[in-house]
Each structure stands twice: as C-alpha cells, then as structure tokens.
Amino acid sequence: MQASERQTLPAGCVVPAGAERRIEVGLLGATGAVGQQFVRLLAGHPWFQLTWLAASERSAGRRYGDLPWRLAAPLPGAIAALEVEALRPGRGPELVFSALDSSVAGECEEQFAAAGHAVVSNARNHRMDPLVPLLIPEVNPGHLALIERQRAEKGWRGALVTIPNCSTVFLAMALAALRPFEPRRATVTTLQALSGAGYPGVASLDATANVVPFIDGEEQKLETETQKILGTLGAGGVSPHPVAISAQTTRVPVVDGHTEAISVELGVEASHEEVLSAFREFRGEPQELSLPSAPERPLAVHDSPDRPQPRLDVEAFGGMAVHVGRLRRCPALGWKFIALGHNTIRGAAGAGLLIAELLAARGVLAHARAGSLAAHG
C-alpha cells in the first residue's frame, strides 16, 4: 500500500551490536483509540520495533492482550504478550510515541522529554508552544530546528515534537502545495468521521442519520495550528503564516475519513492547470528520503467529479495520502476544492510514524538504541 518502503535503517542510526536491526520504540497511552492505531501501524514497521507500552495506573501491570482491542486488524501476538507499564520517565526506549489524553499529556510528556526521550505526541497540549515543532514532514521539516532551542531553554535532554490536529493536517498539506500562490484566506467546512472522537466517543443516537455541527475546540485548532505549521522559523521562533483561516467543523456518520470543503483566496493569479499541477507535484523531504511511511505523492488528485469519498478512497496509499478533488473557481474567494484524509492514520498515528522516521533519518535520535534509557543511562 505505502508507496515507498525503504527497508534499511538510515545511516545515522546506531544500533547496539547483536540487537535486531530495528530501533526500539515505546508508546505512552497505549490503551486508547489512538494508542491502538499506533500499535497497529507499528506492526511490521521496517525500522521500528514496539517493545514498551505504558499507560495510566488503571491499566499498568496488565497484559496488553487482556485489555479491550477495538480495531478490525488483529492485535499482533508479540505485542499482546507485553505487560503495560506505568508512565515512568526514563523507562523504556529513547523514542516514544504519545497517545496520551490531554488531561495527563501536559506534564507527563515534558517529564519524558526532560528525561531524555524523544517524544512524538498526538496530544494537543504542547502544539502551540513556541519551542515545540508542530510538524508535518512534507510541509515544515525545518521546524525541527526548534529541538535545539527546546534543549537549551527548557533544559531537556530529549525532545518533544507534536502531531497536528487531524483535520489540520489535511488542510495544511493542501495549502502548503499552494504556497507558491500565496494563500491569503480560506474557509473550510469539515465533515468529520466518528473515529476522530475516540472510543466510546460520540453516542450512536447523536451519530445515526444525523449531523452534529459542533466539535469542541476543533475550529480554533484548524485556524491557529495551520498558521503555525505554514509559518516561518526565525530567530524569534515560528512566525505564523498570515493566511486567515475560518473553520466550521461538523461530525457526520462516517467511520474513518474527514472530508473538507475548502475555499481559498490566492495572492498570485494562477490558471486551473497551474493550481492542479501544484497539488500533483507537491513533494517533501519524506519523499526525497523515501521514508517508509511516506506516500509517493502526498496529495492524490482525483479526476472524477464525485470523488474523493471516505468509504472508497480513504484507505488507499496506506491511508497516508491526502485526497484532493473537484478543483474549480470559487465566486467568493477564487478557488475551491474538496480534501479528504484518514484521520487516525495521516491525521494521527501515521503522521507520528512519519515524524519519527524523519527524526531517525536526520540523526536526531541520540542512540536509537535497542534498550531502554534506563538500561543505558
């Protein structure tokens, strides 16, 4: 499914002699909906091996395979056998993914970063922190330079990089392709899938044959995170991109896949073919580096007028492409189109894997060692 699967570890990765030649990784918040997606996507990953699971006190000490598993894909046997540990910084591998709930992620992730872990987090807590990269590897890989400042100013031995909000990823990737034409303002209406709310998430009586025109906090995330992601890193940190974003977010009875109806005003005149080409030819560092989770084309452009559709398209390309269709003139703002992305893959766990792959390829990981920080401390 995934377009580029570079099987060999990047040159910068030091793996202890005798270890399996994969980088050990850990997972904070392993039991929730996003945590399970991380587990699923890490199964069979060519670079990473998931060897350490941590969760809140309630689940700590239990066998992972004894906890409820809510995905259609089977739980890998090797993972099922792991015992869930408590959230103790310094334990576990250097590289940890965080699927922690925002109620605990704030302090916990900081402690892990301080203790030397490279934390790739899906939580919203630190996304807008000026010293924390809010990263889409195709869009703003240069923001990883903030890691040095993090270490300097916060005194962390590790690092913290955040995954943007799911609907933000799809909007930001589409707008990133349009950067040559200087996007000035955009309206976006999202039609978001139920899996975006986790489990149990949305009550079925709210979801069935209904639309809920409100998702708490979601619109602000789209409006501010997009500006940071597209922003420029300077001496004073990231200057937000000047594009004005206005979001209306709704929940619809779809299982996976957020659809977005986007109108955008561009500062530079462009023909239909030029805009379309910008989508089609958009590439980034993950494609140059052939990172394992990178889709060959970050934006999959559809010709058929009734596509993309969540049920037909969202699983294509391993769920890592953002689908774009129906580009046409907008009488109000200039251009309009439809975007679609897989909210739990490209919008969450898959996005985290791609970030981690970029960290590994760039040599940001200090050791990429096969054991826990504690063991090597």
Residues 98-137 that bind a second copy (CB under 8 A): none
Stretch that binds a second copy, among 44-52, 88-96, 101-109, 245-253 (CB under 8 A): 245-253
Name the residue among 319, 321, 315, 323 with its Cα closest to residue 345. Answer: 319
Q: What is 93-138 written as a DSSP string?
A: -SEEEE---HHHHHHHHHHHHHTT-EEEE--STTTT-TTS-B--TT
Contact status: 186 vs a second copy (CB under 8 A): yes
Four-point Cα dihedral 294, 287, 47, 76, nearest 10: 10
* C-beta of 161 vs 301, nearer to a second copy: 301
**The tokens of 184 are what?**
């000035």
Residue 330 falls in the annotated catalytic set: no
**From the list 246, 267, 274, 375, which residue makes contact with a second copy (rule: CB under 8 A)?**
246
**From the list 333, 366, 371, 376, which residue makes contact with a second copy (rule: CB under 8 A)?**
333
CB atoms within 10 A of CB 130: 11
Strand duo 322-330 + 299-301: pairing: parallel
Name the residue among 312, 305, 301, 297 with its Cα closest to residue 346. Answer: 297
Contact status: 255 vs a second copy (CB under 8 A): yes
Contact status: 42 vs a second copy (CB under 8 A): no
Cβ(173)–Cβ(229) below 8 Å? no
Stretch that binds a second copy, among 2-10, 57-65, 101-109, 333-341 (CB under 8 A): 333-341
Stretch that binds a second copy, among 58-66, 139-147, 257-265, 271-279 (CB under 8 A): 257-265
Q: What is 133-198 written as a DSSP string?
A: -B--TTT-GGGGGHHHHHHHHH--SSEEEEPPPHHHHHHHHHHHHTGGG-EEEEEEEEEE-GGGG-
Beta bridge partners of 100: none
Q: How far apart are CA 52 and CA 230, in angstroms?
A: 34
Contact status: 187 vs a second copy (CB under 8 A): yes
Contact status: 271 vs a second copy (CB under 8 A): no
**From the list 60, 71, 82, 276, which residue makes contact with a second copy (rule: CB under 8 A)?**
71
Q: How far apart are CA 275 and CA 336, in angstroms?
A: 11
Contact status: 331 vs a second copy (CB under 8 A): yes
Residue 258 falls in the annotated catalytic set: yes
Containing 78, the helix (H) or strand (E) segment is: helix 77-80
Stretch that binds a second copy, among 76-84, 241-249, 355-363, 366-374 (CB under 8 A): 241-249
Contact status: 306 vs a second copy (CB under 8 A): yes
CB of 171 to a second copy, least distance (A): 13
* C-beta of 214 vs 374, nearer to a second copy: 214
Catalytic residue from among 258, 302, 323, 367 = 258
Contact status: 212 vs a second copy (CB under 8 A): yes
**From the list 62, 83, 130, 210, which residue makes contact with a second copy (rule: CB under 8 A)?**
210
* C-beta of 117 vs 336, nearer to a second copy: 336
Contact status: 245 vs a second copy (CB under 8 A): yes
Q: How far apart are CA 303 and CA 102, in angstroms?
A: 39
Contact status: 80 vs a second copy (CB under 8 A): no
Containing 327, the helix (H) or strand (E) segment is: strand 322-330
Q: How far apart are CA 305 and CA 286, in angstroms?
A: 30
Residues involved in catalysis: 166, 258
Site residues (CB under 8 A) for a second copy?
70-72, 74, 185-187, 189, 191, 194-195, 197, 199-214, 223, 244-246, 248, 250, 252-255, 257, 259, 261, 263, 265, 305-313, 315-316, 325-326, 330-333, 336, 338, 340
